[in-house]
Amino acid sequence: MGKKKINLHLLSLAILSVLSGCATTNNAGDPLEGWNRGVQSFNDKFDDYAMKPVAKGYQWIMPEFADQGVTNFFSNINDIAVTANDLLQFKLAQTGMDGSRFLNQFDGRYRGVVRCRRNDRFT
């Protein structure tokens, strides 16, 4: 019984030492760590002071239907890459469905802003 307990403690210690990793801030293996931290700090401040107010203003100004139209437009643009990916994977049935969804939604009349067929399986 005592040997099992010791083995369990040793195994726990080994697992914890592996999972702890290197948690120091002065890592000699990353010569650009100081620059990376500076860029991260800049990005955080830029997000807090510039991008968040712009996003909040956009949400406040845009009516819901217009915001949904912008979302639909970019979703339809993404369908091009999805269709190409399906084709490259030789998923021909899925390529046809995704391609037809794109052509149906982005048919020139609405330019992909308004979803014409909301309740079918292609939306």
- Banded model confidence at residue 118, pLDDT cuts 50, 70, 90: low
Q: Residue 95: name the closest of 80, 106, 107, 108 by CA.
A: 80
Q: For residue 43, what are its two tokens? A: 């990005």
Q: Give 16-67 pLDDT, tens digit per residue.
A: 776 666 555 665 788 899 999 999 999 999 999 999 999 999 999 999 988 9
Please count the other Cβ atoms lying within 10 Å of the Cβ belonging to residue 67: 13
Q: What pTM did the predictor assign?
A: 0.51
- Banded model confidence at residue 102, pLDDT cuts 50, 70, 90: confident
Cα separation of 43 and 76, whole Å? Answer: 30
User: What is the model's pLDDT at position 84?
Assistant: 96
pLDDT at 123 over 60: no
Mean pLDDT of the 105-121 span: 59
Domain spans in the chain, listed from the N-terminal domain onward: 65-123
- Banded model confidence at residue 112, pLDDT cuts 50, 70, 90: low
In Å, how far are 36, 37, 67, 68 from 51, measured between CA atoms? Answer: 20, 20, 17, 20
Q: Residue 118: name the closest of 43, 68, 84 by CA.
A: 68
Contact 33, 77 (CB under 8 A): no
